[in-house]
Structure 1
Amino acid sequence: MKKTLPFILLLIVMAAALLFGSVDLTDVKNSKIDTGDTAWLLISTALVLVMTPGLAFFYGGMVRKKNVISTMLQSLVCLGLITVIWVVCGFSLAFGADFHGIIGNPATFFMMRGTLGNSSFVTMPTIPLILFAMFQLKFAVITPALITGAFAERIRFNSYLIFLCLFILFIYAPLAHATWHPDGLMYKAGVLDFAGGTVVHMSAGWAALASALYLKQRNSPDHNPARISYVILGTGLLWFGWFGFNAGSAGGASVLAATALATTTTASAAAAMSWIFFDMMRGKKPSAMGACIGAVVGLVAITPAAGYVTVPNSLVIGIVSAVVSNLVVIWRSKTSIDDTLDVFPCHGVGGMMGMLLTGVFANKAVNSANTTGNGLFYGETHLFFVHILALIGVSIFAFVGSIILLRVANAISPLRVCLNDELVGLDQSQHDEEL
């Protein structure tokens, strides 16, 4: 029965697609749809998609050679599984009709009903609704893929797929709704998250820590990276795609998009150099791994702030976040926490630093239409304290929720591979393949 269950689920999805496939097109002309904005969001959607294979190379190069394929597939499979879930009900849960500010109605856009034609979403009114749905899909795809670095080299692939489904439905979708839907709790409270520091990176970071604690240590935690050249390639793809991630979140081809692109570039550059210089101050040699990790931390930290801060302030965000994340990596290495690829110190802590520093440096002069207030640096305290409260709430929700989902997934199918499978390597034991 367990072997045929996935096929049965696919048949159900196919039947639903046929049943609800005849959707009503929105024929009313929407004068707000702008071809320039639409063109930029089409490009941005493609750029964000590139980030997932980029992450696959980034993570794949860091693990042992016997686990490279498995680690890369854990990222790549999200493009398939999360897309199906998003079309069926994920988009509705995140952006459907509001239910008390915490979740959307799963029936609103069930099977993408009502998304074709000239309709649009209220927060991005100049692009077609179906394009908004596909743009947001790419954020949903990469978020659970980020978690995989924490439990790399020791999770059963079939069980991982179960956890993916649970995470996207019960952690990601509620956070996306609360943060980005106009009726969401955090949106209405004034929390600023331009492109996913809270929704994407904090949720993934806390889920990563929960996973590392739940699955416990590998048989041999220390290892040498299989392909540092993969890590460099992955960093390049991530940095390239991140322009769609952040500048695309402006919702169109605008001055705000250009600002987000600029702050993204500078924060990442500053973080990369800060990581290298900090390592050198500690007596370490400058490394390619350090430069790559630092660049990604900068990209993570600027994500919530990209459309709210000035370029000089983005340099500060990159520098501070890189140093703090580096210190947390050092601390983590002295504990028994086996976060294989330091997802929590880099993505979780980077996301939290970005959220806090958004509350410090947000400037109405950068984005007067959407900024709910100036940051602490400009003499206002309200936004900063709102962000602190949101940080605490999101952290508890993502961490505790992930622990519960890990227990549920493990009850359905054991998450941890057996010792022999771990020693052989996940490429062979899970996929019967090798590099």
Structure 2
Amino acid sequence: MGRIWVEEGTALFPWQEDSRNYLTLVEQYGDGLLVCGTGACAPTCWNVTQRKESPPWDGRGIAPFTPDSNTLVVVDGQDIYSTIKKSQQNGKIPRFRRVRGGGELYTSDTVMQNPQFVKATTLRHEEPHQDKIYYFFREDNPDKSPEAPRNISRVAQLCKEDRGGTSSLSASKWTTFLKATLICVDPITKGNFNWLQDVFFVPASDWRRSKVYGLFTNTWGSSAVCVYSFGDIDNVFRTSRLKGYNGPTPEVKPGQCVPSGQHTPSETFKIADSHPEVEERVEPLSPSRSPLFHNKHRYQKIGVHEVAAGDGQRYNVLYLATDKGSIHKVVELPDGVQNIVEIQVFPNKDPIQAMILDHARVGPCSGGGRVLELPMDMCGAYRNNCHSCVLARDPYCGWANGSCLSLALS
């Protein structure tokens, strides 16, 4: 699917002419696109099909009142999930909501402590009632000891078919919420990368093999990439005890998805609501449970693309946006990870705030609002130098006809 590149504050549709109306969402929805914006503090959405837009409708809960980086919106079929407040007068406690689809629900105010949302996705299981929502976030660390980090990185799960609780107090609350800690630690240096900066999802035909590439930073300005499987994440939520809970396990376990049309039993919800964290932590997907790599650069964003190279092998290529306006292209090779090229996107070294991969181009956007498109292969970076082209071991590029050309098959 093609991408729409938007420069903040530039009129793309008639309703964007007010400079206070920032476009915040463009997603496929039904037969067309769902387009939402701040509407000059009056959040508004439109359904756009074949270059025609519907009359505007109330976008509260889907678009923010003002541009806000601590928001997530996930569109999955007819369901829309969001962390955006529905009213400017709402309290300061952020919630994860289902705002459209199978009935409105929100997370309890006590299950997260000052969350900073990073990214969310949905995952199909073999049985529809087992389909899950996973979202990744940072929150205040409940451990207040001096040596403990201020923030802790988490993954949370929810069942897509959650119908809320059976009592008046829980009827509008998610009843299947659980959270787990994400670990990204170098086992040799014991360096702890505790600040989840960004994630990128790599789907697979078997949902258990779908991966999460997590980009982490630490207080010393270094970065690490840790890779997790959704199979491991699911196993942690299914098998781990609840932290701080020593009572009996109810017949329907906390976090368990119940068959369609049923509600989570009240007893189960009460236990999960008061003990939402599981004891077991989610560790990286590697024999040593270590980061894929780490270095002293401070990365802001991550993207991953699997490419079929000219040698017939498939490689994962990582695109990492730095805080100095450059992109590092890193490839996973059989003998390890190699940083093969750096592209300086913005000469004045503005940080790259957003980056989208569409399998043909990389589109980074600086904080200053400029938007650029780059070819994903970036073979031009080797300046038609045979030595540089070949030694880089770039799976996209090869030397042919006196030039460094893109030889990737996909």
TM-score range normalised by the length of the shorter chain: under 0.3
Q: More helix by proportion, 1 or 2?
A: 1
Structure of greater relative contact order (alpha carbons < 8 Å, 6+ residues apart):
1
Give the TM-score taking structure 1 as reference length: 0.23
Give the TM-score taking structure 2 as reference length: 0.24
Q: More strand by proportion, 1 or 2?
A: 2
